[in-house]
Amino acid sequence: MASRTRLMASTGSGLLRNPRLFAISRSSPLAAALATTSARSFSQLNSHSAGPGSVFGSLGQLNSQAAPPSYFSSHKRLPTNTVIRFVPQQTAWIVERMGKFNRILEPGLAVLVPVIDRIAYVRSLKENAIEIPSQSAITADNVTLELDGVLYTRVFDAYKASYGVEDAEYAIGQLAQTTMRSEIGQLSLDHVLKERANLNANITAAINEAAQDWGVTCLRYEIRDIHAPEPVVEAMHRQVTAERSKRAEILESEGQRQSAINIAEGKKQSVILASEALRAEQINLASGEAEAILVKAQATANGIDAVARAIAQGEGAAQNAISLSVAEKYVDAFANLAKEGTSVIVPGNVGDIGGMIASAMAVYGNVNAAQAKNSSGRQIEEGSPASKKIAELQRRLNDTQSGTNQVYDEINNAMDQRLKKR
């Protein structure tokens, strides 16, 4: 076939180069047909002889890159048998000998037998991304969705990928579409939107289970876009708005509740602190009053002890001071009663100051007599010296009685003078 094409190309070109026949070609339909056939044969010759390492192949690649894409340019041509070939990295070449599978060429240098060996398939071992077109699927709650995605695959067995399926990429794409439609039908719309990762994993597992015999493994599947009907989208928007309003109201009520709790807790703590402060104040006041009473009582006791010791010693000045103090307190008390408009029951002998003092001094004399009696009793028990002591005490008692009368007179004179001054 190639030799026939070369013959037709050479014949046509020779006829066109002949000057004698060139003039005929303008008016002869046969010459025009030969020229057209020659041009087509020349182009076919270039296409058959063009390879990855030839000049025609390089020019063809440049023209194919510059030209717009077409069905034929999108499918790579198989490399020809030039005896010595170099297999690119991450690529597997399937070699057939006389139409039967022979071997798989690994990356690097490869030697082929001319005529009988043919490179039948070229498989890339790189990861490949397959775009899954948009398709409709019905969910478990009867909502029609439009979904598309991307499938990532890799060839792990070049022999199965070449002889196990006619077009592995097309078969994988169709399997991905049917599997996705089946998985969507088992889930509701809410689960489809929420469990996209689980859905992708289920689709990947289903594809791998069916694609093992094709020598292709599915690395992952990603759902790219999910389009729902317009009424469903509007309903979802209303649902989201209502849910957000509900959450806002709940948060607001929780805030009010927490605020009320905090206010009540603050009032409780303030009341507790106020009561504790009042309690501490009362305790401090009571403690102060108790200490004051104790101090006053101690002072009174000390005063009484001093008076008692002075009386026991029988000092005349002390007796006169006691009589004068009693008379002054008596007069001051009645003077204060006269200032206030109160009704007070008083004894009939209020003006008899001398009688009152006499009564007080009689008490004092009885105290001295009792002390003298006790002292004389102790002196009698001691023996003869006690008799002298008894005589001394008797003398002191007589002096006391005479002194008492003198004190009465002095007190009466002093009281008269004081009343006259007032």
**Which pLDDT tens digit goes with each residue over 23-70?**
434 444 444 444 444 444 444 434 444 444 333 333 333 333 333 333
Per-residue pLDDT of 182-203, as tens digits, reads: 888 888 888 888 888 888 898 8
What's the pLDDT at 366? 58
What's the pLDDT at 73? 35
Whole-model pTM? Answer: 0.42
The dihedral built from the CA positions of residue 86, 92, 93 and 95, taken in this order, carries a sign that is positive
**For residue 119, which of 155, 77, 90 has the smallest C-alpha distance?**
77
What's the pLDDT at 82? 85
What's the pLDDT at 262? 92
In the chain, domain spans = 1-72, 78-126, 128-228, 314-421
What's the pLDDT at 62? 34
CATH architecture of 128-228: 2-Layer Sandwich (3.30)
What's the pLDDT at 237? 85
What's the pLDDT at 407? 55
What's the pLDDT at 46? 42
Residues of the chain with pLDDT under 50: 1-75, 380, 384, 386
What's the pLDDT at 48? 40
**For residue 138, which of 95, 172, 184, 92 has the smallest C-alpha distance?**
184
